[in-house]
Amino acid sequence: MRPTRLRSILQCAASRSRPNPVPVLRRLPLRPLSVLGVPISQKSRPGRCTPPNHRHAPFSTKPQPQTTSFPDPVRPDLFYYLVDPPTPLSRDQPAYALSFLPSPPPSPDSSTVIGWLPAAASEAQEAGLNDFVENPKFREILHQAIQDGLRDAVDEIQINGALQLQQGWMHIHDDRNIPPLGRIGDPDDILATVLVQDSQIIVETYQPMPAYRLCTSDGLTQLTPGLAQRLQTLLAERADSEKQ
């Protein structure tokens, strides 16, 4: 992870009592800071939780009550589920499964899980951005949802982008880090590329971006509204099928 394009990292949950530390996405202001090991002293932007002088930014692991699930405090569409071992991270340690669904995943390695974070055993431990392990099966569903959404023209932002471009290749950007008008975004934030002809998206030319990352210093995947709704629908359908 590059230290020079850091706009936001992980939002901390409110501190409670015991016993399991809970990692929650935290956001910090844009500064050329190293994600790990660099003091953060800038003032936060409005609406962002920025604890001063916090040296390990990405995931907060303050003690929380023992709970099996909770929503992210700043992203109501993101949920954390405590799953018992064995998990994709460890044979004998619990983990948090991150999901966009408001109900627990059918299994710890369900394709509806975005990825996993270790459930730290003590306050002295902290989960960092590098501790996040993505779920490759979720990536497949993600691209399927985007392609289906583009084919069915469910997203006004992508439709308008094609109308403005008229002709050429159009990038599908992650909404967590929108590039300036007329600029190309970071490869980490480009979900895919698709050909536009006569202001129409040619879905058959859809090409996933290999460099895209589900989790960066700007947070987890965040789609534009129409595509996000299509992803939500597809994830719910997949969860139902995995329960059978």
What the block records as the tokens of 199 is 């202001």
Average pLDDT (139-150) is: 98
Q: Any idea which residue has 């501790």 for tokens?
A: 131
The encoded tokens of residue 100 equal 């966009």
User: Which of 31-45, 101-115, 173-187, 194-208 shows the lowest mean pLDDT across its residues?
Assistant: 31-45
Q: What are all long-range contacts of 238-241, with beta carbons under 8 Å and residues at least 24 apart? A: 238/110, 238/111, 238/112, 238/141, 239/101, 239/103, 239/105, 239/106, 239/110, 239/112
Secondary structure class of 224 (helix, strand, coil): coil
Distance CA 159, CA 174 (A): 15
Phi, psi of 36 (to 5 degrees): -120, 135
pLDDT of residue 180: 86
Amino acid residing at 94: P
pTM, 2 dp: 0.74
Instruction: State pLDDT tens for residues 17-43.
Output: 334 445 554 433 322 222 222 222 223
- Give every CB contact of residue 187 below 8 A, 6+ residues apart in sequence: 209, 211, 212
* Residue of 161, 162, 175, 100 whose CA lies nearest to 135: 100
Q: Is the pLDDT of residue 46 over 50?
A: no
Query: Strand pairing partners for 95?
Result: 83, 118
3-state secondary structure of 18: coil
Q: How far is the C-alpha of 74 from the C-alpha of 224, rounded, in Å? A: 17
At residue 99, the pLDDT reads 97
C-alpha to C-alpha distance for 129 and 107, rounded to whole angstroms: 23
